[in-house]
Amino acid sequence: MKYFKEISLPFVVFLTGACVLIIEIVATRILSPYYGNTIFTVSSVISIVLAALSVGYYFGGKLADKYPIEKVFYSIILISGLSVILLYLLTLFLLPSLGYSLSIVSGPIISAIILFFIPSLLLGTLSPFAIKLQGQRFPEKGIGSITGEIFFWSTLGSIFGSLFAGFVLIPQFGISQIILAVAIILIILGFFSLIKIGILKKSILKVILFSVVGILLISIFSTSKGNSVVYSHDGIYEKITIYDGEYAGRPTRFFQQDRSNSGAMFLDSDELVFDYTKYYALYRVFKLDVKNALVIGGGAYSIPKALLKDLPDATVDVSEIEPSLYELAQKYFKVAKTESLNNYTDDGRRLLHDTDKKYDLIFSDVYYSLFSIPAHFTTQEFFKIAKDKLSEKGIFVANLTGDLSRQEPSLIMSEIKTFQTVFPNSYFFAVDAPDKIGSQNIIFVGYNSNRKINFNDPTIAKNENQIIQSLGKRAINLDRFEFSKYPILTDKFSPVEYLTAKVLQKNFSQQKFIDGSEILALIDQQLRYGPRYLSAPGHKNIQKFLIAEMNALVEETKIQTWQYTSPDGQKHELTNIVGRLYPTNEKRIILATHYDSKKFADKDSQKQDQAVPGANDSASGVAVLLELARILTNSRYIPNVGVDIVFFDGEEGEENQGGDYTNWKPLGSTYFTEHLSDIYGNNKPISGIVLDMVCDKNLKILREQSSTQNAPAQTETFWNIAKKIDDNVFRDQVGPEIRDDHISLNQAGIPSFLVIDFEYPPFHTINDTLDKCSAKSLETVANAVLNYVYAVR
């Protein structure tokens, strides 16, 4: 009897310690369908449980000193069991709405507080309480020995709970069953202990049992499968749901892991559903004789099934870490069991590392959504392992999810930079469109060969496979981007959850029609090329960038290149770049700016030998026009006129003129107007707008004097529109005459006006930097120009 009395409290804290860790392990699984199995989810759960336990330890000790009786101790256990029942009810009725309304960054910690704080706090009070009670029972032992004993059994229980949850409970039972079992164990432990010490009557047991039965009935009712759900069960790593619905108007069976659709099958054909899966056929473009293929990430086994259909003599290995998926794919997705398909329940990276096999094709499809991207499949080290296991001329294909926004940080930009360090001969495809800045699937292709592939080749464009046909249009021209600011991802540094959270924040926040932050990022990219005066390396880089952008954004691109010799004998090659939107419309307007920057900071008395960065005076106009080109290209509304986006070279004049503007002339716009017929024939544009210096934080734009004289009607129309957008920016006053590219256009008979904030203190100084620019100012100007374009008749 004495022995039982001595071990009863250690046994209780062993059980309650196990319950705490079971709740903590399961908590991640409860939240992951809504926020993904990310570091934010894991760290939030651990932090909240530890915080609750620490508060519980503190107040448990206080409570034990005040009420050192078993009645209070076992009552806390009973209440903690009821709190776990409440936790369960909240997961049924609150979490589905709360989970989808919060971001993956803030959502996990808020949800963890609501769901897990109270049960963990209550269970945390028990260890100090048990120490107090055990000390009263056996005062001869000493407080140190008792404390060590209680914490030993509590921690041992936690270890047992952690291992039992991971190796037994989660693989064998559903999350709901586990939570209810923990609740029932705590309720029974508390209830019968209270009865034993004569506190509760047995009639109360009926009440509690009826309550538990009621909860079970609610659970069954709330989780009953609708007609469309054909399978729903907790896998080892995520909740797996298979349901029937429609896609593109056709009956479709979907495979869902936690929050993400990661596979599908048309019920009326064997055709692949999602476009990204169809990129497995890239092996045809590279003319591979595929004998051995590896697919990392089985999902619904759509890609392995398609490969075996195309290549009946090939062997397809599949690495899928979730054990049940191969069997489910056979049962629900018509995947035949064949000796040609080898299924490995193994981590794909580990399998690649351990195998001696060489593969002609490796398709990595573990990045099935932004909610769950395994970090160890994003790093330089992983790509090196994959390349090492490719056969000569083999290809590695990876499907990632992200966006092509230039705003920092960027998962896709970091991944592209990382990928290229391993695969110098690499290609990237935007499944939706290369000019889309929202989230989409991006296909990475690494070729284990030096042979270059031209995806605009007529044989590819005429291929019967629609995906292969479209490769030229889907290919991402990397000249459009500058990668120096994006980190290379390694096993030691791969903040994938942070990067994906930023993508999700952009995609789930209210989308702006014109995004000033995106325009600001375009300015930043230009500045990373360095100075962009005529002989600077950055001048060539900005040209490549603008040509690539126009080729991606507009229907037709015209390039004007000519040699210019300055009076001092310096020779320069200059280039105007013209992007034509709606080129069949003969009635046209020009939206123009210059892209060269000033070589000498002639307004800076101390720095006149240094180059001007040109954030405002150069990059701002370029950035606004690039964003307008993207918007006009993707808009459902076609303006009444064709639009030419013109980037003039040499607006700053001769490179070495310094502060002497006596003989200044805009080189690019002068050449442009002298060769109008090369682009327009006999039909001149009806008007033009020139943008220059439009990102100042304290933006004040006056009507430029020569604009009001040479294009009075156009200037008036624009200002009437612009004032409605922001009359604090667009002022009615007429400012001074400013010499800029609109001068050349007006002299050529194209009524044009200048939009500029000339009262800009850093003008022609080394302080013309990004921090002087405002996203709001850029949005305001872009909105004004866009509305003017739609108003022109």
Q: Domain with 328 in it: what CATH number?
A: 3.40.50.150
Please tell me the distance from the alpha carbon of residue 381 to that of residue 401, in angstroms, as a whole number.
20
Give residue 655's Cα distance to chain centre: 42
Do 298 and 186 have their domain in common?
Answer: no
Do 207 and 323 have their domain in common?
Answer: no
pLDDT at 145 over 80: yes
Please tell me the distance from the alpha carbon of residue 200 to that of residue 209, in angstroms, as a whole number.
14
Domain boundary among 503, 526, 561: 503
- Residue at 143 is within a domain: yes
Tell me which residue of 664, 661, 686 sits closest to 748, measured CA to CA: 686
171-180, 643-652, 662-671: range with lowest mean pLDDT: 171-180
Please tell me the distance from the alpha carbon of residue 543 to that of residue 535, in angstroms, as a whole number.
12
Q: What is the mean pLDDT of the chain?
A: 90
pLDDT (average), residues 521-532: 97
pLDDT of residue 250: 93
Confidence of residue 498 (pLDDT cuts 50, 70, 90): confident
pLDDT of residue 168: 86
Please tell me the distance from the alpha carbon of residue 622 to that of residue 611, in angstroms, as a whole number.
19
Do 86 and 184 have their domain in common?
Answer: yes
For the stretch 246-293, pLDDT in tens is 999 999 999 988 767 778 999 999 899 999 999 999 999 999 999 999
Q: Domain with 751 in it: what CATH number?
A: 3.40.630.10
Burial-class residue 672 by CB neighbours within 10 Å (0-12, 13-18, 19+): buried
Residues 522 and 626 sit within 8 Å (Cβ to Cβ): yes
For the stretch 298-339, pLDDT in tens is 999 999 999 999 999 999 999 998 899 999 999 999 999 999
Confidence of residue 508 (pLDDT cuts 50, 70, 90): low
| Enclosing domain of residue 374 | 275-503
Measured CA to CA in angstroms, residue 738 lies from 146, 692, 709 at distances of 87, 11, 12
Tell me which residue of 591, 566, 570 sits closest to 581, measured CA to CA: 591
Do 499 and 516 have their domain in common?
Answer: no
pLDDT of residue 602: 87
pLDDT (average), residues 393-397: 97
Please tell me the distance from the alpha carbon of residue 194 to that of residue 70, in angstroms, as a whole number.
8
**Token pair of 72 as six digits:** 């209070």
490-504, 515-529, 626-640: range with lowest mean pLDDT: 490-504
Do 364 and 471 have their domain in common?
Answer: yes
Give percent of the chain with pLDDT exceeding 90: 72
Provide the 3-class DSSP secondary structure of residue 646.
Answer: strand
- Residue at 785 is within a domain: no
Please tell me the distance from the alpha carbon of residue 89 to that of residue 84, in angstroms, as a whole number.
9
pLDDT of residue 81: 92
Q: Domain with 159 in it: what CATH number?
A: 1.20.1250
Confidence of residue 196 (pLDDT cuts 50, 70, 90): confident
- Residue at 235 is within a domain: no
pLDDT (average), residues 19-45: 84
Higher pLDDT, 576 or 238: 576
pLDDT of residue 123: 94
3-state helix, strand, coil in the chain (%, to 5): 50, 15, 35
Residues 653 and 555 sit within 8 Å (Cβ to Cβ): no
In angstroms, the first-to-last Cα distance of the chain is 99
pLDDT (average), residues 107-120: 93
**Token pair of 408 as six digits:** 């920092």
- Residue at 766 is within a domain: yes
For the stretch 452-487, pLDDT in tens is 999 999 999 899 999 999 999 999 999 999 999 999
Confidence of residue 226 (pLDDT cuts 50, 70, 90): very low
**Token pair of 740 as six digits:** 């800029």
pLDDT (average), residues 364-386: 84
Do 488 and 532 have their domain in common?
Answer: no
For the stretch 596-633, pLDDT in tens is 999 999 887 677 789 999 999 999 999 999 999 999 99
pLDDT at 13 over 70: yes
Confidence of residue 205 (pLDDT cuts 50, 70, 90): low
Domain boundary among 439, 472, 503: 503
pLDDT at 225 over 50: no
Higher pLDDT, 735 or 99: 735
- Residue at 596 is within a domain: yes
Tell me which residue of 423, 11, 30, 400 sits closest to 185, measured CA to CA: 11
Please tell me the distance from the alpha carbon of residue 112 to that of residue 105, in angstroms, as a whole number.
12
pLDDT of residue 28: 86
Do 416 and 455 have their domain in common?
Answer: yes
- Residue at 238 is within a domain: no
26-40, 431-445, 692-706: range with lowest mean pLDDT: 26-40
pLDDT at 220 over 70: no
Do 313 and 164 have their domain in common?
Answer: no
Q: Which amino acid is at 736?
A: P
- Residue at 258 is within a domain: no
For the stretch 739-749, pLDDT in tens is 999 999 999 99
Give residue 581's Cα distance to chain centre: 30
For the stretch 654-664, pLDDT in tens is 887 777 777 78
pLDDT of residue 211: 59
Domain boundary among 503, 527, 561: 503
Give percent of the chain with pLDDT exceeding 70: 93
Do 284 and 404 have their domain in common?
Answer: yes
pLDDT of residue 140: 83
Q: What sign results for the dihedral spanned by CA atoms 411, 414, 417, 422?
A: negative
Please tell me the distance from the alpha carbon of residue 620 to that of residue 258, in angstroms, as a whole number.
43
Confidence of residue 372 (pLDDT cuts 50, 70, 90): low
Residues 183 and 86 sit within 8 Å (Cβ to Cβ): no
Burial-class residue 56 by CB neighbours within 10 Å (0-12, 13-18, 19+): buried
Please tell me the distance from the alpha carbon of residue 262 to that of residue 144, in angstroms, as a whole number.
54
For the stretch 749-791, pLDDT in tens is 999 999 999 999 999 999 999 999 999 999 999 999 999 999 9
Residues 526 and 485 sit within 8 Å (Cβ to Cβ): no
Q: How many CB atoms lie within 10 A of CB 674?
A: 12
- Residue at 205 is within a domain: yes
Do 458 and 321 have their domain in common?
Answer: yes
Confidence of residue 219 (pLDDT cuts 50, 70, 90): low
Higher pLDDT, 15 or 566: 15
pLDDT (average), residues 171-191: 88
Residues 649 and 574 sit within 8 Å (Cβ to Cβ): yes
pLDDT of residue 99: 82
R_g of the chain, CA atoms, integer Å: 34
Do 774 and 644 have their domain in common?
Answer: yes
Q: How many CB atoms lie within 10 A of CB 634?
A: 12
The total number of structural domains in the chain stands at 3
pLDDT at 1 over 50: no
The 8-class DSSP code of residue 618 comes to I
Do 320 and 387 have their domain in common?
Answer: yes
Tell me which residue of 229, 215, 227 sits closest to 93, measured CA to CA: 215
